Structure 1
Amino acid sequence: MTDLLMSEMFYHLESTFQNQIFDGRRRVIIERVSPEIDCGRYAAKRVSGESVRVGADIFGDGADTITAVLNYRRVEDSGWSAVAMEPAGNDRWEGSFIVGEPGRMEFCVEAWIDHFVTWKSGLRKKVDAGQDVSLELQIGALIVEKAASRASGRDARRLLELVSILNNADQEVAVEAAELGELLRLMHTYPDKSAATRYNKVLPVQVDPKIAGFSTWYELFPRSWAKRPGEHGSFNDCRRMLPLIGRMGFDVIYLPPVHPIGKTKRKGRNNSLVAAADDPGSCWAIGSPEGGHTALHPELGSIDDFRGFVSEAADHGISIALDIAFQCSPDHPWVKEHPKWFRWRPDGTVQFAENPPKRYEDILPIDFETEEWESLWTELKNVFLFWIDKGVKIFRVDNPHTKAFLFWDWAIDAIRREHPDTVFLAEAFTRPKVMARLAKGGYSQSYTYFTWRNTKHDLQEYLTELTTSELSEYMRPNFWPNTPDILHEELQHHGRPMFLIRMVLAATLSSNYGMYGPAYELCENEPVMEGKEEYLHSEKYEIKAWDMDRPGNIRAEITAVNHIRRANPALQQTNDVTFVRIDSGDGHEHDMLIGYVKKSADGTNVILTVVNLDPHRTQGGWLRFPLEQFGLSFDHRFQVEDLLAGRTYEWDGEWNFVSLNPASTPAHIFNVLLHS
């Protein structure tokens, strides 16, 4: 392995808290620190401005008082900041700190026997019992005197004054001095940590930019936006879409691969094996004699055109996300320049991509077991760096689970060292542990199973898993109701109301959500054949001409929901969600009405969302709002403002009736005004 790769291979924590010399005087035990991902190998994730709440089991022998602190810093800093940890019951302690700008932070828990507080507590008990405490005061004076030796300046002089009072004043005055708040503050400032226990690991935190925690994605194919239908669109053509997409409330436009497309084995319309002369091919078949992953398809425009598109998008509050698909057309320059990066079959041909029985003859997978893996890794990392230099900081990575995990660990960490504000979305619809491992390895956001969670039970179970298990510390879900590859059967068969239902669910359950834009906005619902999730006349294989004003579109509803998300911090996070009970009127829980409460970090913004999962019939039921979570009685009167309909209702106590007609409004998004 080269020195370069060896130095960048893994992120190593260096700290004075590690490799402690054994000292039998350490009486405090620190266990079960959280968040700790796989024994500290991987980082917990936060976005700028969020807090990290740290918990630990901390206890010692006997009944002496313990003091615990949470130490934290950015990895490039030499010194540490500290905040006191507080008992949370059953020897569990908690503390928190706020993370700053994108980059790496680290923390460690430290605790010790606090002899001063132990002494002070015992002194009070003996005084209350009427016992002589003259000797106790002398013991306390010795403890304070040692603290004076650790202090300096005015604090040291004041501590010595208090030592004199403890030793020489009459007992009543000395006891009063022992219980001064000033003395307690000084003793906490200069504690005796000679026998302190420090947790045996310094634990990492990855701080991502805010857009990693709250984002709204719109996917479009640039080639379909020419001014004249049927022609090949360009980045300059796409500029006219920016004001519309910005007004709709999207802040990320995701572009499928924008590179030259190969001609060998090019796929035709509807994924046919034979392409017509004018078929553009799949843009995931990357590479031609005109270039590969660092080149642009010539008809899309030049690098300067691309830079201009990125810059103008930023003027509308939109970031451009690029698809990174590490696979190659047989025409890709790498196939000739680096033949050992691919697998060659006994007949002398290159192994094309397969997922038996599916065959993808127009693309070649990269061989991550190649002996030339070091040069491969470096080249793939440089693809990201190339586009970062062109103004892109967000990447949707295609099928990352089919590439080596160790590559992603290394590449994402190396890129973030130079560019800590980059965001990586893992497009991996695969096994749960594989998806989790990609998130641990550095991905900022993850595609999920949301598309296939359609019943009330499945949605509640899945959200509970994502938000209450360890996944919540490192895996940020990004909910997509559709993609160019996925047209779920619910969207195929249940019309416009189902498109509204799934959009509201995605947008309010997850702080990050996206859609394959034009198709979703226009409620495209025709599959290539019954039982398949592929679109008929898929844009993956042909240039489309979208009529964005087609009757039945849901642009107004999408816009309304997106603006509600922007205006309400409660919807800008995922993990604080509480599902509420809705009864059908016969004592049983309603299975077609789902409701959930979210609140902002400071508790000032509370949103209740109610969705009718039935796209055909009006459903009504009695909803119980959890007033007890807000310290309010069950009969508290409050208001709810329907942000979609613009109406305000008076609710009398915890139980209230809700009814939703999917043909008009399949959802309520209530701003809950508990103290109005």
Structure 2
Amino acid sequence: MPKGQITDGLRFGRFPITAVQPVVEGGKFPAKALPGEGIVVGATSFREGHDQLGVSAVLLDPSGAERQRVRLAAPRGERGMGTDRWEGILTPSEPGNWSFVIEAWHDRYGTWHHNAEVKIAAGIDVELMLAEGAALLREASAEDFRSEWDRGVLRDAAAKLADQSLSTEERLAAGFGHDVAGVVAHQPIRELVTVSEKHPLLVERDRAGRGSWYEFFPRSEGAVKDHNTGAWTSGNFRTAARRLDAVAGMGFDVIYMPPIHPIGVQHRKGPNNTLVAGPHDPGSPWAIGAAEGGHDAIHPDLGSFEDFDAFVARANELGLEVALDLALQAAPDHPWVAAHPEWFTTRVDGSIAYAENPPKKYQDIYPLNFDNDPEGLSNEILRIVLLWISHGVKIFRVDNPHTKPVWFWEWLIAEVNKTVPGVVFLAEAFTRPAMMHALGRAGFQQSYTYFTWRNTKKEIEEYFHEVSHESPAYFRPNFFVNTPDILTEYLQYGGPAAFKIKAVLASTASPLWGVYAGYELYEHVARPGAEEYIDNEKFEYKARDWDAAAESGRTLAPFITRLNHLRRDHPALQDLQNLTVHQSTDDSTVVYSKHKTLADGSKDTLIVVVNVDPHVTKECSVALDLAALELDPQDITPGGGFFVDDLISGESWEWGEFNYVRLDPHVEPAHILSVRRMPR
């Protein structure tokens, strides 16, 4: 770019670079990434005239050193036609504050190649074009950053281009040769390089964006009912620890527990959220606080801190991380109510406002008010979080974060990770998209989603595209298939097939998915008129007979185990942005693929085909976007197809661009197909 005052203060460089991605609100917040994750990086860049433009993305590690350089290309299909859009993949390797820049540059070799191809074919300036090519490659062969072998390739090609004893075709072939193309693809011949500003990329630890979650109530695990009196003896951390082997055996990574604190007595809710609790009803764990303490205490029925530490240690031995519920609210008898009434909202009649989500009322819960004493309340919550971190908890599932100020979460998550790097927060925010996305920008590593309610083909395809291509820079979706509060009609009436279908979709579309205990037993009976379980475990103990279910075969556990093992075996399932939706002729058959090129050059590609109608067998034709599969020549069969292996049934087929599929939901509602890669 010309030097001097004429260029001072201009926004455009020699070549414009605009619409860079992933950039969150102009760089105010860093884009999210994971170690080894393929991050789609792109920009719109163009130039005047007809000369060729090259665009690259450069990945910078936390020290500012260059770690990866990738030449960008136009996106596939119509999205890349005539748009001046360029995209590629960058892959950071470890946690830290990374960044990237976009470079646009005059592609000297590309420009010469195009001009020589056109002009020589037309008989125009033949000798001049060959001479220009020779001079270009000779000059490039002197660049000291190139290897000696690369220099030799360029010198030899330059000499042949200049050798008039050879035919025009031979000279041009030397300049266009495979070796030359390889050298300039690896290290292009560039000039007039324009560099964008640095854009931040926060690379967080693996569990921030990858993992299989399992939720259970520790008080139910090992709970025993006296059938004479109807009274229950609560399970505790020691009895709940016995269940951990089975959870780990199913391949889960995270064991999540609802609040484990003392439960309020005043206005305690009874079974199925009734207003009156009996003397033996345990109440909702989310009604936190009683005479025994608040958020920094453990319910005495569950045990002591020593018992909790033993539970965490056993989980860790089995490869499980413990996620604890962070529910920032209080029962009427929480110690905060007496000590800090300013942390709540007082109504004109002097009463403290309880939680409401009309028509629902939660008389056993007082919401917090952050406006009266924001500093005091915030520091108290920080103290509590750090207390549980000191007992081995590095993951928090946050209840209803959208009912607290967004600024508070930005502050808390930053403060916590400043003190203890790597702590993960999951937002349980089933609310408006703007709030859910703001929480992601504020620092939440992952979030619950609308996936639970996306059941038709159109809904699923649109949502999968949204979370994988439109919002991954700031919103990581955790596809929970059910929760204690959510039992959709799809699961209520879909039978076992519906449970399989949702599990396949959740576990293969997102690197994060989760189930609430009982899902593997096909629990599906709802409270009349509600979208939640009857005899809800939020308000009572639930003793499940896991052994009897296994012996009878009426359990989804083996299928879930298979899915979780596939997730560990196939790196493509551990990325979010690599999902491509394909086409089918049936309005209930969803088709998508996930592809990943590994550091050693090998490729992992899966095609998922799911009949989302749990009642009816579907037959259709599947049309694949073959470019998304990145097939190599050796992968192609003599018939022009490629082999796929079904990772569920064990069957294999030869597939191509168009394929016949028949899926009976009562037998197997889905194919998870691995594209067979042949040795190079």
State the alpha-carbon separation in 2 of the partners of residues 316 and 543 from structure 1.
26
Correspondence for 1:14: none
Aligned CA distance change for structure 1 residues 516 and 111 (closer, same or farther; 3 Å): same
For the 8 Å contact 2:260–2:298, the answer to whether it is kept is yes
Match of 2:579 among 560, 577, 598: 577
Q: Using structure 1 for the length normalisation, give the TM-score.
A: 0.80
Q: What is the TM-score with the length of structure 2 in the denominator?
A: 0.80
> Number of residues paired by the alignment?
620
**1:12-41 deviations in Å (ceiling 9; x for gaps):** xxxxxxxx9737995343222111111112
2:580 and 2:385 map into 1 onto residues whose CA distance is 39
**Residue in structure 2 matched with residue 337 of structure 1 by the alignment:** 339
Q: Is the 8 A contact 1:103 1:416 kept in 2?
A: no
Stretch of structure 1 that moved more, 609-618 or 298-307: 609-618
Q: Distance in 2 between matches of 1:133 and 1:499?
A: 66
Residue 487 of structure 2 corresponds to residue 487 of structure 1: yes
Residue 354 and residue 119 in structure 1: after superposition, are their counterparts in 2 closer, same or farther (change >3 A)? same
> SS at 1:290's partner residue?
coil
Q: Distance in 2 between matches of 1:113 and 1:623?
A: 42
Query: Which amino acid counterpart does residue 29 of structure 1 have in structure 2?
Result: P
User: Which deviates more, 555-564 or 83-92?
Assistant: 83-92
Q: Which amino acid aligns with 1:618?
A: T
Paired position in structure 2 for 1:280: 282
2:506 counterpart residue number: 506
1:619 paired with 2:614, answer no
Counterparts of residues 370-449 of structure 1 (less than 5 Å): 370=372, 372-449=373-450
Per the TM alignment, residue 244 of structure 1 is displaced from its structure 2 partner at its CA by 0.8
Cα shift readout 1:574-594 (whole Å, capped 9, x = no counterpart)? 332233333xxxxxx212333
> What residue is the counterpart of 1:214 in the other structure?
210
The residue number in structure 2 matching 1:315 is: 317
What does residue 234 of structure 1 align with? 236
**1:472 alignment partner in structure 2:** 472
Give the structure 2 partner of residue 537 of structure 1: 535
Going from structure 1 to structure 2, the CA distance change for 1:594 and 1:122 (only over 3 Å counts) comes to closer
CA distance in 2, matches of 1:410, 1:387: 18
Deviates more, 1:80-89 or 1:602-611: 80-89
Displacement after TM superposition at 1:353 (Å): 0.8
Q: 1:55 aligns with which of 31, 39, 42?
A: 42
1:515-543 Cα offsets, whole Å, 9 max, x none, are: 112x21111111111x3112111110011
The letter for the 2-side match of 1:351 is A
Q: Evaluate the alpha carbon distance shift between residue 418 and residue 118 of structure 1 in structure 2; reply closer, same or farther with a 3 A threshold.
A: farther
Question: Secondary structure at 1:651's aligned position in 2?
Answer: strand
Q: Do 1:103 and 1:420's aligned partners in 2 also have CA atoms closer than 8 Å?
A: no
Mapping 1:167-246, distance limit 5 Å: 198-199=195-196, 201-226=197-222, 228-229=224-225, 230-246=232-248
Other-structure match for 1:560: 562
Displacement of 1:266: 0.8
Aligned to 2:593: 597
The worse-fitting range, judged by mean Cα deviation, of 620-629 and 418-427 is 620-629
Q: Out of 256, 259, 265, which is 2:258 matched to?
A: 256
State the one-letter code of the partner of 2:102: V
Q: 1:653 to 1:26 in 2, by over 3 A?
A: closer
Counterpart of 2:640?
636
1:415 Cα deviation after fit: 2.0
Equivalent AA in structure 2 for residue 502 of structure 1: K
- Distance in 1 separating the partners of 2:201 and 2:113: 37
Residue number among 100, 121, 129 corresponding to 2:93 in the alignment: 100
Residue 669 and residue 98 in structure 1: after superposition, are their counterparts in 2 closer, same or farther (change >3 A)? closer
Deviation of the 1:659 alpha carbon: 2.5
AA aligned opposite 1:430: T
Shift of 1:615: 2.5
The one-character-per-residue Cα deviations of 1:147-196 (angstroms, maximum 9, x if unpaired) are: 99xx99xx9xx9xxx9xxxxxxx999xxxxxx9x9xx99xx999999xx7
8 Å contact from structure 2 (residues 218, 237) kept in 1: yes
Q: CA deviation at 1:263?
A: 0.9
- For the 8 Å contact 2:268–2:283, the answer to whether it is kept is yes
- Paired residue type of 1:246: A
Deviation at 1:52, TM superposition (A): 3.5
CA RMSD of superposed structures (Å): 4.2
Alignment check: 8 A CA contact 1:569 1:600 kept: yes
- C-alpha distance in 1 between matches for 2:86 and 2:594: 26
Taking structure 1 as reference, are residues 532 and 221 closer, same or farther at Cα in structure 2, changes over 3 Å only? same
Structure 1 CA distance for aligned equivalents of residues 642 and 360 of structure 2: 57
8 Å CA contact retained: 1:638, 1:675: no
Match of 1:39, SS state, is helix
- Percent of residue pairs bearing the same amino acid type: 42
Secondary structure of 2:272's partner?
Answer: helix
Aligned to 1:3: none
Structure 1 residue 79, shift from structure 2 partner: 5.5
Q: Tell me: CA distance 1:337–1:190, structure 2 relative to 1, closer, same or farther (3 Å).
A: farther
CA apart distance, 1:102? 2.2
Residue 216 (structure 1) shift: 0.8
Shift in Å, 1:67: 7.2
On the 8 A contact 2:109/2:189 being kept in 1, the answer is: no
Residues 467-487 of structure 1: per-residue CA shift (max 9 Å, x gap): 23x313221111122100011
What secondary structure, in the 3-state scheme, does the structure 2 residue paired with 1:504 have? helix
Rate the CA distance shift 1:259–1:92 in 2: closer, same or farther, 3 A.
same
Deviates most, 95-104 or 457-466: 95-104
Amino acid across the alignment from 2:621:
W
Equivalents in 2 of 1:235, 1:97: separation in Å? 43
Residue deviations 1:340-378 (CA, integer Å, cap 9, x gap): 1111112221111112232111111111222x1122222
Alpha carbons of structure 1 residues 24 and 330: separation in structure 2 relative to 1, 3 Å: closer
Q: 1:24 to 1:675 in 2, by over 3 A?
A: closer
Q: Find out whether 1:35 has 2:22 as its counterpart.
A: yes
1:269-316 CA-partner distances (Å, limit 9, x unpaired): 111111111111100011122221121112211222212211111111
Q: Determine the structure 2 residue equivalent to 1:9.
A: none
Separation (CA, whole Å) in 1 of partners of 2:422 and 2:580: 31
Alpha carbons of structure 1 residues 553 and 399: separation in structure 2 relative to 1, 3 Å: same
Distance apart, 1:133 and its partner CA: 14
- Specify the alignment match of 1:295 in structure 2: 297
Shift of 1:224: 0.6
- Letter in structure 2 aligned against 1:524: E
Corresponding residue for residue 456 of structure 1:
457
- In structure 2, the residue matched to 1:167 is none
Distance in structure 2 (CA, Å) of the matches to 1:500 and 1:526: 17
Aligned ranges 1:118-157 → 2 under 5 Å: none
Q: Distance in 1 between matches of 2:512 and 2:130?
A: 63
Distance in 1 (CA, whole Å) between partners of 2:288 and 2:67 is 49
1:640-675 C-alpha deviation (Å, 9 max, x unpaired) = 3222223x2333644443323322322222223265
Cα displacement (A) at 1:131:
7.2
Partner Cα distance (1:112, 1:663) in 2: 57
2:621–2:659 Cα contact (<8 Å) kept: yes
Match of 1:666 in 2: 669
- Give the Å deviation of 1:402: 0.8
Structure 2 spans left out of the alignment, 5+ residues: 1-6, 75-79, 156-161, 165-174, 226-231
For 1:653 and 1:122, locate their aligned partners in 2 and report how far apart those are by CA, in whole Å: 37
What is the letter of the counterpart of residue 22 of structure 1? G
Q: 1:450, CA displacement in angstroms? A: 1.2
Identify if the C-alpha distance between structure 1 residues 480 and 114 changes in structure 2 by more than 3 Å, giving closer, same or farther: closer
Instruction: Find the aligned partners of 1:574 and 1:24 in 2 and give their Cα distance.
Output: 33
